[in-house]
Amino acid sequence: MSNTAETTGQEQDESTAQDELAARVVEMLRTIFDPEIPVNIVDLGLVYGLEIHPPGEVHVIMTLTAPGCPVAQSFPESVKAALQRVEGVSKATVELVWEPIWGRERMSELARFQLGMM
C-alpha cells in the first residue's frame, strides 16, 4: 500500500469521525430551546455556523433573537456547557454575533409550523 493511499484512508477516517461528531453536536443543539420562544435554537435559525476541528474542538457561531435579550450574557455559556457533554468534544467555544441580524425568515419550516406561522 502506498503512502498516499494510507494518508487518504486516514483522512477519510478523520472526515467520518468529524461528520459523526458534527451530527452529535447538532443533535445536542436541537435539545436547547430559546428561553422566550418554545423552539430549539437550530430550527429557530439562531445557529449561524458550526466548525469541527480535530481533536474534537467545536466552535459554534450563533445569535439571539434580539440584542437586548435578557439572557445574552448567560445563554452562550449554557450552550457551551451542553456541547461539552457531547461524546467526542474535547473543547467547545460559542461565539455570539449580531450580524447578520436574526429574522423570522431564518426559521425552519418546522419552527414556523410549531409557532402557527404557516
Which residue, chain included where needed, has cell 486516514?
A: 10
Question: pLDDT of 62-98, one tens digit each?
Answer: 999 998 888 888 999 999 999 999 999 999 999 999 9
List domains and CATH numbers for the chain: 3-114 (3.30.300.130)
Q: What is the rounded distance in angstroms from the CA atom of residue 21 to the CA atom of residue 14?
A: 10
Q: Are 64 and 72 spatial neighbours (Cβ–Cβ below 8 Å)?
A: yes
Confidence of residue 4 (pLDDT cuts 50, 70, 90): very low
What is the side-by-side order of every strand in the sheet holding 57-62?
A: 47-53, 57-62, 91-96
Q: Which residue has the higher pLDDT, 85 or 35?
A: 85
- Parallel/antiparallel/unpaired status of strands 57-62 and 91-96: parallel
Confidence of residue 10 (pLDDT cuts 50, 70, 90): low
Q: Are 99 and 49 spatial neighbours (Cβ–Cβ below 8 Å)?
A: no
Phi, psi torsion values for 54, nearest 5 degrees:
-65, 145
Rounded (10°) CA dihedral 78, 90, 24, 19 = 140
Cis preceding-peptide flag for 55 (omega within 30 of 0): yes
